């Protein structure tokens, strides 16, 4: 008879196949929804693919969208690696964006008169620091008092969004924007250059790629990286081996929050130029999906972010051509998260053929 048996180590092949199997399963399930909306399934998916990856313009749009997603994906990946469930990347992103404009915005028409080589790093540092500090609170509450960080970070997302709204109504309001809540614009010199002429693709993508590489190297080759992986695998054993578990988690929280904060700053400096209340359509939450699809590997995060961005961009262009609501993108992304969880679990098992009906245990 056939039986599932747990492997001592997850199979490498199975781990590589898992995300593709999950995505294939997802597209199969969501094709039912596409059919329900009355659209021809094959054509709809072809349009989605074309809209996301099918032309130079589509690719530039997808990579533009992937930039913040890589950063929030990295933020979730490093936190989850240490079993710190940071669901607050959305709030950290907004606070980072706000901090960037606070430092580099054209307040009173001009803003701080500092040299760009000084102001630009200050702006990025402010964004990273505000994201990091926003996560530090929940992380400390978790380690000191045992308060579940999932609920506190989730609730803080709502608080931060209201805080941003407050600032856009008050001190950071753009006086020239008529009624629409919008912050002052970033100084011209601080905005990121375009990678491709006549597209929205900006050098923030390079930032994201470099950070992914750095994080990968850190997790793999440094002592801190080893500690992060060890604490995530078994906190008690790590403490027993003499690792400063609490300190490692604080470092992870600062790192994860900083990455999400940078996502906000780079989005402002590269794409929008100012903060609005709808600048992120849930990039923080999508980051979690991306981290899981990448099995928490920073380099995998890049690939997963490009995939998710392609789905989001492609769904937008598909819904203009056939009658499928854009919400199909969110359904695809969420189903692929659940499917990926199952696939990653199954990758730890193997099917064994066993003679006779005797069952182990």
Partner 1 sequence: MLAESLDLLTTIPFWIAVLRIATPLILGTLGVLLCERAGVLNLGIEGIMVAGAFAGWLTVYQGGGLWLGVAVAAAVGALIGLLHGVLTVTLALSQHVTGLGITLFAASLASYAYRVSFPKVSSPPTIQPFAEMAWLPIPVLDAQTPLTLLALLLVPVIGYLLYRTPLGLAVRMVGENPAAAEGQGLSVARVRIGAIMAGSSLMGVAGAFLTLAAFNAFYFNMVNGRGWVCVALVVFASWRPGKALLGALLFGLFDALQLRLQQSGSGLFGVSVPYQVYLMLPYLLSIVALVLMARRAAYPQALMKPYRKGER
Q: Which stretch binds partner 1 (CB under 8 A): 112-120, 184-192, 206-214, 320-328?
A: 320-328
When the beta carbons of 11 and 203 are compared against partner 1, the nearer one is: 11
Q: Are 164 and 280 within 8 A, CB to CB?
A: no
C-alpha distances out from residue 42 to 62, 82, 350, Å: 21, 41, 34
The length of the chain in residues reads: 361
331 is an interface residue for partner 1 by CB under 8 A: yes
201 is an interface residue for partner 1 by CB under 8 A: no
Q: Are 81 and 228 within 8 A, CB to CB?
A: yes
When the beta carbons of 240 and 327 are compared against partner 1, the nearer one is: 327
CB atoms within 10 A of CB 5: 10
Q: Which stretch binds partner 1 (CB under 8 A): 66-74, 193-201, 253-261, 335-343?
A: 335-343
What is the total count of residues that contact partner 1 (CB under 8 A)? 44
The phi-psi region of residue 273 (left if phi > 0; otherwise alpha if psi is between -120 and 50; otherwise beta) is left
| Residues between 83 and 102 that touch partner 1 (CB under 8 A) | 85, 87
Q: Whose CA is closest to 267, among 150, 116, 127, 79?
A: 127
- Greatest Cα-to-Cα distance within the chain, rounded to the nearest angstrom: 82
Structure tokens at 51: 């809209």
Structure tokens at 230: 């060890």
15 is an interface residue for partner 1 by CB under 8 A: no
Report d(CA 153, CA 142) in Å as an integer.
11
When the beta carbons of 149 and 267 are compared against partner 1, the nearer one is: 149
Q: Which stretch binds partner 1 (CB under 8 A): 49-57, 109-117, 200-208, 333-341?
A: 333-341
Residue 289 Cβ vs partner 1, minimum distance, rounded to whole Å: 7
5 is an interface residue for partner 1 by CB under 8 A: no
Helix/strand/coil for 295? coil
When the beta carbons of 55 and 165 are compared against partner 1, the nearer one is: 165
Phi, psi of 247 (to 5 degrees): -65, -40
Q: Which stretch binds partner 1 (CB under 8 A): 15-23, 29-37, 189-197, 238-246?
A: 29-37
361 is an interface residue for partner 1 by CB under 8 A: yes
337 is an interface residue for partner 1 by CB under 8 A: yes
The phi-psi region of residue 67 (left if phi > 0; otherwise alpha if psi is between -120 and 50; otherwise beta) is alpha
When the beta carbons of 209 and 338 are compared against partner 1, the nearer one is: 338
Report d(CA 314, CA 189) in Å as an integer.
32
Residue 325 Cβ vs partner 1, minimum distance, rounded to whole Å: 3
| Residues between 258 and 297 that touch partner 1 (CB under 8 A) | 285, 288-289, 292
When the beta carbons of 171 and 244 are compared against partner 1, the nearer one is: 171
C-alpha distances out from residue 167 to 182, 204, 250, Å: 9, 25, 29
| Residues between 339 and 358 that touch partner 1 (CB under 8 A) | 341-342, 345
When the beta carbons of 134 and 201 are compared against partner 1, the nearer one is: 134
* DSSP letter (8 states) at residue 212: H
Q: Whose CA is closest to 159, among 85, 98, 74, 76?
A: 98
Structure tokens at 65: 């969208």
Q: Whose CA is closest to 252, among 139, 143, 99?
A: 139
Binding mask of the shown chain, residues 142 to 181, with x at each position contacting partner 1 by CB under 8 A: ---xxxx-xxx-xxx-xx--xx-xx--xx-----------
Q: Which stretch binds partner 1 (CB under 8 A): 31-39, 172-180, 248-256, 299-307?
A: 31-39
CB atoms within 10 A of CB 152: 17
When the beta carbons of 5 and 169 are compared against partner 1, the nearer one is: 169
323 is an interface residue for partner 1 by CB under 8 A: yes
User: What does the binding site for partner 1 look like in residue numbers (CB under 8 A)?
Assistant: 33, 36-37, 80, 85, 87, 141, 145-148, 150-152, 154-156, 158-159, 162-163, 165-166, 169-170, 285, 288-289, 292, 323, 325, 327-328, 330-331, 333-335, 337-338, 341-342, 345, 361
């Amino acid at each position: 008879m056939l039986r599932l048996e747990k492997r001592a180590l997850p199979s490498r092949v199975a781990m590589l196949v898992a995300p593709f199997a999950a995505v294939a399963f997802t597209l199969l399930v969501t094709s039912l929804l596409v059919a329900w909306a009355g659209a021809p399934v094959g054509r709809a998916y072809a349009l989605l693919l074309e809209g996301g990856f099918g032309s130079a313009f589509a690719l530039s749009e997808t990579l533009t969208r992937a930039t913040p997603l890589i950063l929030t994906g990295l933020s979730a990946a490093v936190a989850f690696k240490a079993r710190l469930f940071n669901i607050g990347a959305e709030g950290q992103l907004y606070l980072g964006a706000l901090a960037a404009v606070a430092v580099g915005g054209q307040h009173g028409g001009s803003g701080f008169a500092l040299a760009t080589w000084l102001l630009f790093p200050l702006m990025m540092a402010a964004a990273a620091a505000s994201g990091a500090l926003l996560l530090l609170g929940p992380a400390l509450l978790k380690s000191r008092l045992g308060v579940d960080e999932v609920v506190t970070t989730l609730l803080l997302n709502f608080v931060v969004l209201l805080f941003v709204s407050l600032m856009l109504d008050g001190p950071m309001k753009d006086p020239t924007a008529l009624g629409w809540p919008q912050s002052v614009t970033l100084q011209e010199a601080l905005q990121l250059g375009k990678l491709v002429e006549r597209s929205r693709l900006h050098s923030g993508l390079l930032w994201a790629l470099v950070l992914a590489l750095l994080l990968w190297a850190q997790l793999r080759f440094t002592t801190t990286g080893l500690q992060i992986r060890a604490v995530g695998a078994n906190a008690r054993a790590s403490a027993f081996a003499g690792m400063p578990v609490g300190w490692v988690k604080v470092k992870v929280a600062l790192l994860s929050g900083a990455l999400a904060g940078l996502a906000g700053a780079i989005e402002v400096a590269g794409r929008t130029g100012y903060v609005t209340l709808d600048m992120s359509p849930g990039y923080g939450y999508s980051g979690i999906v991306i981290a899981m699809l990448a099995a928490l590997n920073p380099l995998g995060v890049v690939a997963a972010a490009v995939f998710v961005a392609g789905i989001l961009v492609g769904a937008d262009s598909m819904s203009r051509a056939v009658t499928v609501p854009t919400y199909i993108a969110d359904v695809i992304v969420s189903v692929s998260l659940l499917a990926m969880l199952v696939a990653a679990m199954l990758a730890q098992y193997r099917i064994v053929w066993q003679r006779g009906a005797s069952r182990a245990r």
